[in-house]
Amino acid sequence: MRAWLAKLFRASTSRTSLHEIRRSFDEASGDEEHFPSTIDPRIYHVRLILDHFGELAGKRVLDAGCGKGRFARVLKERHPAAGLVAFDLSLAMLRFVPQAVSVCSGTMTALPFASESFDCVYATESLEHAVDIETAVQELCRVLKPAGRLVIIDKNVEQWGRLKTPHWEKWFRREELERLLRRDCRDVTSRLISYWEDVEPDGLFVAWLAVK
């Protein structure tokens, strides 16, 4: 199975360019129904991030692959004294990020930030679009300060096929990302989660939590 996944990932990367992915999300930025600029702050994804990060006053937080900044919007509202940076490949998506949040464009495989420059980093359903997963995970950890906290929320490869996806998108096994995170982080855990706390996880979403 792992050999098959590695072959799939190499194949999808080889036939995909950053230009193609960027163009796709630039076009999708006009679709508010499927790519909304806001999110219900009660969903468990939001609570999990806030609980893992704790108090954020005076801290720098990176939303890696933010889309329209819907998670960053909630975090900034809850923690106005935090320094939120919304990062995405698509400039068109970044136009929707609220003014109180700083924006930056680039690729997750070469984050344009100094090493150890963020107290907290999160990537919600964005790592799946990186053209090189191993390098992207290394970059997320590189920009994180020692003892900094990281959250990745993405989809479970065991549920592959449930949703229509672009050909470059990748889903993950829990142990796959745990292994990559352990190269740079001392505490790494993962668990299946649902959108709502009172709804039993159906296996689609996985949350990886780490401390550097």
Return all residues near 25 (Cβ < 8 A) that are at least 6 apart: 67, 88, 89, 90, 92, 93
According to DSSP, the β-strands at 205-211 and 144-155 are: antiparallel
**pLDDT tens digits along 142-167:** 999 999 999 999 999 999 999 999 99
User: Domain total for the chain?
Assistant: 1
**CA 10 distance to own-chain centroid:** 21
pLDDT band at 23 (very low <50, low <70, confident <90, very high): very high
Task: Output the average pLDDT for the chain.
Answer: 92
**CA 140 distance to own-chain centroid:** 9
pTM of the model: 0.91
**pLDDT tens digits along 90-138:** 999 999 999 999 999 999 999 999 999 999 999 999 999 999 999 999 9
pLDDT band at 16 (very low <50, low <70, confident <90, very high): low
pLDDT at residue 4 above 50? no
pLDDT at residue 15 above 80? no
Provide the residue range defining the domain that includes 168: 2-211
**CATH number, domain with residue 159:** 3.40.50.150
